[in-house]
Amino acid sequence: MPNFWQQINKPILALAPMAGITDSAFRQLCRLYGADVVYSEMTSADGLFFEGKKTLEMLKFEKAEQPLVVQLFGKDPAKFGEAARIVEKSGAGGIDINFGCPARKVVGHGGGVTLIRDLNLCYQLIKQTIDNTKLPVSVKVRTSIKSKIGKKVTVIDFLKKMADLPISAVMIHGRSYEQGFSGEIDYQMIKEAGKYFKGTILANGGVNSPEDAKELLKKTKADGLGLARGTYGRPWLFQQIKDYLKTGKFEEPSWPEKKQIILKHAQLALKTKGEHGLIELRKHLLWYVKGLPNASDLRTELVRVESIKDIEKILAEIHG
């Protein structure tokens, strides 16, 4: 199968994987507004191996989302081979392996970013995946984590260990595990990764505006960016970044335009997940109205919506 990473014009703008956020509806919206690649929510390799109904549901997507990368998490190499085969059968464009998640419930079971404390295990997880699929395989990591004896294990150590594996892309979150989602981005570490990895490198972390995006690209020399929390309530950020990098200017959608985007999101959520999709949409609705003069009152109403009509009624009262 073709390696789509090599076919996208740089800089590549990707929607980074986020649990509970990057479902099909949001992915479709981000593709519509400029994302070159979209990642799924974190998908359990164990869940796929045991053919769990909820996990298999996460593999459903629309053609408009391609290239879609399904991100796997887990820690048992034996499960990753079968998981890779299942993802390939789903028609997805690529597979990613999570070595970066700092969430307590993930690291508590020895997954996510804590995996890079054992580079031999990481190697086996990646190798099992690559050996069982023709899809391009990528990974997501953080800059570093301290081992249990206090020694720092870095993304450079990781890349050196994986040097002989045909990994297609690496998304590097520019903070250590200990930093979580705050603190300075380690631009130099991401830039240095380019010496040890010749595939696609995506820089991730701290991109909340087109200006942030330009700075991160400039300081890291990365091939592209993985956008995450900066897209909360702002799926149009991808297009703004593209416009800014090309012309030095970008436009903020008007409130009437934002209303149409919100309704489009709601319709996609309803189509892909039914009424439950609108319940899950509530958090996105809160992000969309952030910063409005009466945001507090709006939030009180939006957390109760159960239908498209509910959303339309509330939006009709907002004049921006």
DSSP 37-83: EEEEEEEEHHHHHTT-HHHHHTT---GGGPSEEEEEE-S-HHHHHHH
Confirm whether 101 is a catalytic residue. yes
Long-range contacts of 144-151 (CB under 8 A, 24+ apart): 144/176, 144/177, 144/186, 144/189, 145/113, 145/114, 145/116, 145/117, 145/176, 145/177, 145/178, 146/176, 146/177, 146/178, 147/117, 148/117
| Closest by CA position to 306, among listed 270, 278, 267 | 278
C-alpha 262/C-alpha 216 separation (Å) is 29
Q: 157, exposed or middle or buried, with CB in 10 Å at 0-12, 13-18, 19+?
A: middle
Catalytic residue among 69, 86, 101, 122: 101
Can you tell me whether residue 203 is helix, strand or coil?
strand
Task: Give the CA angle between residues 68, 28, 17 to the nearest 5°.
Answer: 50
Q: What is the 3-state secondary structure (H, E, C) of 125-144?
A: HHHHHHHCCCCCEEEEEECE
> What type of residue sits at position 80?
F
Enzyme catalytic residues: 101
